[in-house]
Structure 1
Amino acid sequence: MRYLKYVTSLVVALLAFSFVSAQEAGIRFFKGTFAEALAEAQRQNKPLFVDFYATWCVPCKKMEKTIFTQPEVGKFFNEKFVNLQMDAEAPENVEIAKKYKVEAFPTLGIIAPDGKAIQINVGFMKAEELLEMGKTAIGEVKGFEELYKEHRAQPNDLKIQQELLTIAPRFLTTQDGMDAEKWVVRVRKLYKDYLAKKMADNSLINKKDYLIISNLGGDDADEVARVVEYINSNLDAWIAAVGEPAAYYVIEKNDERMLDLVKKGDESYKTYLEKIRTDYKKAYDVIKFKTVTPYQKSVDYYGALFAIYKNKDVPQYIKLMSSYLNGLGEDANAADYGIAAQSLYNAAGKKLTAADHKQAIAWLQKAIPNETTLMNKINFLVMVGDSYRELKDYKQAREYYNQAYGESLQMGAAEQAQQMIQASVVYKLSTLELLEK
């Protein structure tokens, strides 16, 4: 009997140890509302760490399963913070999410016990990045303003500048009004000077500086062009340092430049088109299509857009866009077909003929079944309904509007957006009733 009692006690002890270990293995999240969690943070005199998530957000779920469960992460955040997971799209949380500028997911916030944002970060974070964010917030790692003071004292220290620019995006999201404008101006100047110095001594080619470029570059077209040329002229070294994203940076910025020019009807886009098979060929070679080259794909795509934006030449647009989509073959996805139709509507609008509307419908009907983003799918369904309305096929128009309304029912968490979409669809349905009379 005593043996049995000993075994039972041992099992209980082991179970208790397992329970404690499981709890300590990851972040323990407070069970309650935001207000209750903030009150608990005030009681413990600790900052509040908030995981602002959405139920549909895949990166949010990945962080929950792979980052928040790590022992090192759990130990640090359980000791230093009160932690809360909050569905930012739930009706009771919408105003709180607005207050902390939650516009994308995941958003990770560190909030002082008085409710003021200390740090806000948008996007998936690795464990080491999350830990750095937490340590910066509580002063174990230097914060932005402290580093900025050091920079003022040592204006030529590139290491301090690198640290500043790395954490600048998180810092800027916590600023409002005149403070935000002041810091944006300072960061932009610092970024510009930093790039010039690092390009001059050829020390820019590394992961930290690539992330700085990715996060802070883009406002100044001339500056972006210089960075593109610098990365492209040192592409082998950049790929060795950061991988294929360096090549995709060149591609993305060149494509953005061509798109901007064709929408303005500026034929100089062809200069950048030619770079795809000359100066930027090595970068574009990372794209692998089964049946078409990146150059030929771009010839048809940007040629089609130029035809419709410059000359409103819808037949030429449809010819070139069809060639573009046929050339992609199996590589064509929902977005390709959806953009083809959307560009047709945007550039030609009410000038579309019955045949043009039928072509748009054909493209959208290929996009809809494979579209995984709910808002895009709803938009495509409404566009088809609009085209059928213009064709006076009111029965089909009603069917697609109703499908769009049905899809919107899945947006329960995004109540405000859902209401706007549903009101728009209901209005479109009511106009059909008038047209049919």
Structure 2
Amino acid sequence: MSLELRAQEKGVNFEVDLTWEQVKAKAFDTKKYIFIDVFATWCGPCKWLDKNVYESSKVGEFVNENFISVKLQGDVTGADSERVKSWYATASEIMKTYKVRSYPTFLFFSPQGKLVDKFTTGAVADTTFIAIAKNALNPEKQYVTNLEEYKAGKLPFGRMQELAITASQNKETDVAKLVSNDYINNYLFRLKQEQLFTWDNLTFMSQYLNNVNSKAFVLFLKDPDKVNLILGKDRAQYALRDVISKAYFEGIDPIKKPNFDWTTLNKTMKSKFGEIGMETLYGKQMIYYLDAKDWVNFGKYYTLYFEKALKRPEYEINNITWPLFENVTDSKVLKFACDVVMKYAVEEWYQNDPISWDTYANLLYKTGKKEQAIAWEEKAVKQSNQDNVFVETLGKMRKNINTWPDAAAKP
């Protein structure tokens, strides 16, 4: 949608004929805030907002009363009108100055033309948008105002949590880490134990463990049972695993780095992080050898990983098990994948998923349990409304024909 968006009888009235300087002058004269919707022509959520939010009468009533509104196109297309082109330089400057990194981004300015709030989002409901706009009028809720107060050492601890969360939403990672560390270290960890161990506090910490040396990470590592008692089963392990992965395993690729030092990593994981470190390591090794098509080692680390992480897997079990079925011939690995991993997954998560039933049936068949395999493949055929692939697989099973590729790796 271009800048020529016409004013509507209902909904938000976006300015179409003013320059940026004229918009600021109008805001100053009317004592209204400025709302800029930074969008791109290809952005799906932006189009959704145009249709479902900006045309809303209740959104229009609130926004038109309090804001001078502008739509700012952030991309450049061959179909852009002269009016859009006249805003190219302004759009580029605004996006650079205010660090617009994704679409849509909402920018809110005071009547004096000073940025006071910023919100990066996807498609939001009309009621949510109104709440965002209301916050932009409240100095205690304005992201940019709060950030300035924080940098000046004047922001109360009670507003730091929201500041860190909004910084994350705005993809300002450095700000989020800085503020969250300050809040956790200098406020939360000064609370008494019974005050610290609440759902709100631990949830915030789980989102901002930040690095393996932080106080929050150490707390989760040393006392996961107590954390899980409040947050829920395995929540501490999920958070720990994520931070360990980012600290040690980003960029691992069998093509770019075929001689990765797994031995040193093994020692590090075991000595620093114990069981959760080894679980993380085995998962990364499993994926590494899958990508490398090293089926012997893939099977080895599939087993080691799921022996530890079956009930809290980082990876989608059916997707990771299918290439094992097709390519691994080690009977012990196949039996473990069939009788332990897929059996549990089908019972716990895949009760109505014919694709997973097909994987389970194929494993049963490959491990010599033909009758059970046929029973499960029949269920997959029925549940999938006679999917041709499943029907063909069922026929092979009944005729004792292999359902896996002939060139499977030897153990």
How high is the TM-score relative to the length of structure 2?
0.48
